[in-house]
């Protein structure tokens, strides 16, 4: 499995990632997160996970 890790941060009035906004509604906007993109080569699908910093 391949994993990419990116920081999620505010830039003006938007978030600097390519994450759809409905996925962010469950997150506390006052905290910092890392976004982990997991690629499963068997199913050829990407999975997204949020990790607190």
Question: How far apart are alpha carbons 5 and 35 in whole angstroms?
Answer: 6
- Cα 33 to Cα 13, 19, 26, 40, 45, distances in angstroms: 17, 12, 12, 22, 22
> Could you tell me where the DSSP H helices lie in 1-53?
21-24
Q: What is the pLDDT of residues 2-51, one digit of tens each?
A: 887 877 766 666 555 567 777 788 888 788 888 888 999 999 999 988 99
Name the CA radius of gyration of the chain, rounded. Answer: 12
* pTM passes above 0.75: no
Partnered with residue 52 across adjacent β-strands are: 33
């Amino acid at each position: 499995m391949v994993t990419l890790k990116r920081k999620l941060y505010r830039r003006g009035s938007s978030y600097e990632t390519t994450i759809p906004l409905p996925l962010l509604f469950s997150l506390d906007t006052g905290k910092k997160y890392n976004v982990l993109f997991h690629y499963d080569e068997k199913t050829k699908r990407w999975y997204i996970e949020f990790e607190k910093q």
